[in-house]
């Protein structure tokens, strides 16, 4: 199978971590008989320096024309003084809009080798943490009307049935590729928008009889994530709730450097990136942890390219790396062997084996 991947190396540690992910993808392609073609795309600070624009139209078009996009990280102190509408992060917002991605999918997975880094007590972590939060990305209160009149401020939370349905389908389809359990999170005891959310989700459930649907109020979900996270497989929720819950979930895993994410829309062309930033303070020092980017590449194979065995192989290679006691500086602990970004990529690539 041949796939065309747009590659945004970006700023700071972006080029370093992306390079390791591409090495892992190349080895995966070799093992499984695929061809991955890469097209470099300038976005973020590097694009400002080169074009005076964080995402020129021709660079955006490369992403739209691809089968999926792999992103490292963008931004840094160097561009803090540029006008707000030209900040590197504006390129990312333009990219999401241009690609039409309305679903942000962020896994929360505890690697047992790093269990001690979780702030949760051992008895909870030992049950396992491995779920995905599917967050609606371009609607809700963040995109409603905002106004302040005198001493009163108003923010409008609005969702249509079609907006809920399209994110709901992403939730159900994600659950189908995992353990077939979907938890819909809302605040239907108070909000009309949540009552509509619940109605649409239950209507959709009839089309996905293989997925078990449950409902949970958002305040209860926030508690359950720290009390009993092993109960979750896939969580689907609206924009603001998802923003808060996904940040909470990222903290219980113990390491931001290990967490991938994806943004999807109506097609299989997705945007895949680690959740961490560009870390300009360690750029070029071979200190960055590339695992979040490598796992983002695995998500691309699983959710956009329908290559579950290949994704499993990458995740197994990461697990073998951790089993062997290797750690980059951000997750280093006593008794482990510290390695740099390049060596981390070397070891994970060497660990790759066909399932």
Residues that are catalytic: 142, 187, 219, 243, 247
CB 78 within 8 A of CB 18: no
Integer CA distances (angstroms), 229 to 7, 171, 253, 258, in order: 34, 18, 10, 18
The conformation of residue 333, written as its DSSP 8-state character, comes to -
Look at residue 213 and give its three-state secondary structure.
strand
Q: Tokens 């470099």, residue?
A: 40
Say how far apart CA 298 and CA 177 lie, in whole Å. Answer: 14
Contact between 174 and 107 under an 8 Å Cβ cutoff? The reply is no
How many whole angstroms separate alpha carbon 133 and alpha carbon 136?
A: 10
Q: How far apart are CA 175 and CA 211, in angstroms?
A: 7
Report the candidate in 103, 90, 147 with the shortest Cα–Cα distance to residue 239. 103
- Can you tell me the distance from the alpha carbon of 273 to that of 41, in angstroms, rounded to the nearest whole number? 14
Instruction: Give the whole-angstrom CA distance, residue 185 versus residue 175.
Output: 15
Is residue 109 within 8 A of residue 318, CB to CB? The reply is no
Strand partners, 231: none
Question: Are residues 311 and 31 in contact, defined by beta-carbon separation less than 8 angstroms?
Answer: no
Q: CA-CA distance, 246 to 229, in Å (whole number)?
A: 12
Q: Is 82 exposed, middle or buried (0-12, 13-18, 19+ CB in 10 A)?
A: middle
C-alpha span between 174 and 345 (Å, rounded): 28
SS3 letters for 190-217?
CCHHHHHHHHHHHHHHCCCCCCEEEEEE
Length of the chain: 355
């Amino acid at each position: 199978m041949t796939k065309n991947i747009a590659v945004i190396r970006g700023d700071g540690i972006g080029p370093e971590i992306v390079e390791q992910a591409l090495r892992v993808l190349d080895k995966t392609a070799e093992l499984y008989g695929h061809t991955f073609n890469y097209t470099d795309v300038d976005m973020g600070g590097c694009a400002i320096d080169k074009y005076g624009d964080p995402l020129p139209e021709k660079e955006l078009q490369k992403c739209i024309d691809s089968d999926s996009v792999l992103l490292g990280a963008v931004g840094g102190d160097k561009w803090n003084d540029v006008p707000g509408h030209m900040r590197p992060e504006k390129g990312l917002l333009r990219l999401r809009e241009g690609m039409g991605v309305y679903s942000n999918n962020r896994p929360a997975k505890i690697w047992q080798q790093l269990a001690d880094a979780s702030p949760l007590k051992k008895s909870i972590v030992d049950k396992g943490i491995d779920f995905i939060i599917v967050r609606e990305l371009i609607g809700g209160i963040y995109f409603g009307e905002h106004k302040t009149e005198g001493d009163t401020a108003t923010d409008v939370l609005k969702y249509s049935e079609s907006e809920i349905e399209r994110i709901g389908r992403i939730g159900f389809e994600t659950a189908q590729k995992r353990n077939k359990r979907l938890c819909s999170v809302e605040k239907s005891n108070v909000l009309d928008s949540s009552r509509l959310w619940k109605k649409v989700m239950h209507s959709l459930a009839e089309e996905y009889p293989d997925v078990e649907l449950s409902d949970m109020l958002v305040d209860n979900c926030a508690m359950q994530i720290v009390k009993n996270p092993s109960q979750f497989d896939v969580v689907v929720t609206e924009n603001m709730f998802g923003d808060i819950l996904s940040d909470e979930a990222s903290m219980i895993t113990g390491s931001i450097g290990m967490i991938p994410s994806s943004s999807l829309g109506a097609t299989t062309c997705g945007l895949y990136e680690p959740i961490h930033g560009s870390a300009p303070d360690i750029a070029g020092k071979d200190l960055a942890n590339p695992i979040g980017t490598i796992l983002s590449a695995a998500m691309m194979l699983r959710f956009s390219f329908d290559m579950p065995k290949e994704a499993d192989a990458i995740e197994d290679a990461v697990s073998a790396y951790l089993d062997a006691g290797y750690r980059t500086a951000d997750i280093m602990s006593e008794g482990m062997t510290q390695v740099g970004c390049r060596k981390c990529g070397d070891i994970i690539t060497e660990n790759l084996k066909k399932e």
